Amino acid sequence: MAANAEGDRELKAKVAEATRTPAALPVADLPAMAKTVSGAVYEFPRDASRIDGLSLVFSGKSEAQLKLKYRERILRFRLVSMGCIGWIRMVR
């Protein structure tokens, strides 16, 4: 198959476009449910997942802390909104 320089350029441009991080959008206020569940501890019956419980603490409209009880250990994660729906970065 012959080289296709134009096709290569188009492919590289499409790959660059697809891997670009979307622009951040303003973060909406938290829904009322976030205030209701913030700080509450939810315990689960023991099963194969070994997740015994979790809690979420919202510290603002763009950040929360997830505490996960897994195999009798507490794991803490910081959740940061990236400003658009579906994009959340988890920081350990």
Contact 54, 67 (CB under 8 A): yes
Give average pLDDT by consecutive 10-residue segment, the chain, 92 residues. Answer: 89 91 74 88 89 89 86 87 57 59
Angle at CA of residue 44, ends 42 and 49, nearest 5°: 125
Contact 54, 70 (CB under 8 A): no
In what helix (H) or strand (E) does residue 60 lie, and over which residues does it extend?
Answer: strand 51-60
Q: What is the pLDDT of residue 91?
A: 60
Round to whole Å and give the CA distance between 85 and 83: 7
Q: What is the pLDDT of residue 48?
A: 85
Q: What is the pLDDT of residue 42?
A: 93
- Which residues are bridge partners to 63 per DSSP? 60, 80
